Amino acid sequence: MNTAAPSPSSAQLFATARPPYKVTSLRVLRSEWAKFWSLRSTWIALGLALLFMVAFGVIAAMQAKNQLTTYGQLRGHFAGDTGVGLALFGINFGQLVLGVLGVLVAAGEYSTGLIRSTLAAVPRRLPVLWAKAAVVGPVALVVGAIGAFAAFGIGARIISGTPVALSLSSAGVVRSLLGGGLYLALVAVIGLALGALLRSAAGGIAVLVATLLLVPGLVALLPSSWENDVSPYLPSNAGGSMYAISPASTDLSPTAGLAVLAGWTVLVLAGGAWRLKRSDA
C-alpha cells in the first residue's frame, strides 16, 4: 500500500508562496494618485487653470493701471478693487476648470467602465471616493495658490506706485491669496462629489456650472430682503468671502464663508458616498 502524501499542485504552491493581498487606505490612495496623473485631461485642466489665474490677473492689473492713469480711479468691473482683487480676477475661470476636472475624475470611470475594476479591487467602495478627494483637493489647492501668488507678484509690479497697490506684508493679503487657493480646492472636491453622485460627466458639469454661475444670478432677481438672506450662503458667494480682503457688510466673514462652503462640500460628498455605496456600478 502506498502511504506517500500526494504532491501539491502548482496552483497550491503559488497560492502558498504568494502573500495575501490586503486593501489599505494607503494603497487605494497610491492607486488613485497614479490614475489621476495618467490622464491627459489632468495635465490640460491644471495647465489651463494656472494659465487663466495668471493671465487674467495680469490683464486685470494692466487694465487697472490704464484706468488709474487715464481717470485717476478704477471703474467698471474693477471699481473698489485692490491689488488682491485684481490678482484673483481669474478665479472664476479657474473654478470652472478645476471643478470640471473633479467631475471627470469621478464620472470618467463610469463612462469608460473602469469603475467596475476599481470597485472589484476595493469592495468596500467608500475608500475609493475618499482617496479621490484626497488627491484632487490638495492638487487643486497647490495649483490655485501658485496661480494666485504668481498673478499677485506680477500684477504688483504693474500697479506699483498706485493707490491700489499692496505687498505681501499688507494686512490680509496672504490670507486672501491662500483663501483663493482653498476655495478652488473645495470647488474641485464638490465637482468630484457631483461626478460620483450623478455618474455622468455632462450632468455633473451642468449642475456645477448652474450652481456656481446661474443660481447666484437667479437669486439676484429676488426681493432685496430675500436676496440678502440667501445670497451669502450660496457656494460661490461663501467662497468669495474667503478670499475677499475686506468683505462687504452683507457678506460673511472669511471664517464663516469657509465654514459654509465646507458644509456644502461635505453635503455633496455625503450624497456621492451614498450613491456609491447603495447603487451598482
The 3-state DSSP composition of the chain as helix, strand, coil percent (nearest 5) reads: 75, 0, 25
Q: What is the mean pLDDT of the chain?
A: 90
- For residue 273, being part of any structural domain is answered with yes
Kindly state the helix (H) or strand (E) to which residue 36 belongs, with its residue range.
helix 25-38
Residue 107 has pLDDT above 70, yes or no: yes
What mean pLDDT comes out for the span 151-169? 93
What mean pLDDT comes out for the span 211-227? 89
Residue 99 has pLDDT above 80, yes or no: yes
Query: In this structure, are residues 122 and 28 in contact, taking their beta carbons and an 8 Å threshold?
Result: yes
Share of the chain above pLDDT 90, in %: 69
Q: Which residues contact 173 (CB under 8 A, 6 or more apart)?
A: 83, 84, 152, 166, 167, 245
- For residue 155, being part of any structural domain is answered with no
pLDDT digits (tens, 9 = 90+) for 164-214: 999 999 999 999 999 999 999 999 999 999 999 999 999 999 999 999 999
DSSP annotation of 127 reads H
pTM of the model: 0.90
- Alpha carbons within 13 angstroms on the beta-carbon side of residue 132 total 31
- For residue 73, being part of any structural domain is answered with no
pLDDT digits (tens, 9 = 90+) for 59-75: 999 999 998 888 888 88
- For residue 250, being part of any structural domain is answered with yes
- For residue 159, being part of any structural domain is answered with no
Residue 281 has a pLDDT of: 63
Residue 144: name the closest of 95, 198, 192 by CA. Answer: 95
Residue 247 has a pLDDT of: 80
Residue 6 has a pLDDT of: 54
Residue 271 has pLDDT above 80, yes or no: yes
DSSP annotation of 248 reads -
pLDDT digits (tens, 9 = 90+) for 44-61: 999 999 999 999 999 999
- For residue 234, being part of any structural domain is answered with yes
Domain residues for the domain of 274 are 23-35+92-145+167-278
Orientation of helix 91-112 relative to helix 235-243, angle to 10°: 130
Q: Which residue has the higher pLDDT, 272 or 115?
A: 272
Residue 10 has pLDDT above 60, yes or no: no
Count CB atoms within 10 A of the CB of residue 134: 17
Q: How many structural domains are present in the chain?
A: 1
Residue 135 has pLDDT above 50, yes or no: yes
Residue 79 has a pLDDT of: 83
Grid cell locating 214: 446661474
What mean pLDDT comes out for the span 257-269? 97
Residue 276 has pLDDT above 80, yes or no: yes
Query: In this structure, are residues 115 and 97 in contact, taking their beta carbons and an 8 Å threshold?
Result: no
Start-to-end CA distance of the chain, whole Å, equals 56
Range ranked top by mean pLDDT from 36-40, 109-113, 162-166, 191-195: 191-195
Residue 127: name the closest of 265, 31, 261 by CA. Answer: 31
Kindly state the helix (H) or strand (E) to which residue 1 belongs, with its residue range.
none
Query: In this structure, are residues 219 and 231 in contact, taking their beta carbons and an 8 Å threshold?
Result: yes
pLDDT band, residue 251 (cuts 50/70/90)? confident
- For residue 2, being part of any structural domain is answered with no
| CA–centroid distance for 179 within its chain | 12
pLDDT band, residue 38 (cuts 50/70/90)? very high
DSSP annotation of 73 reads S
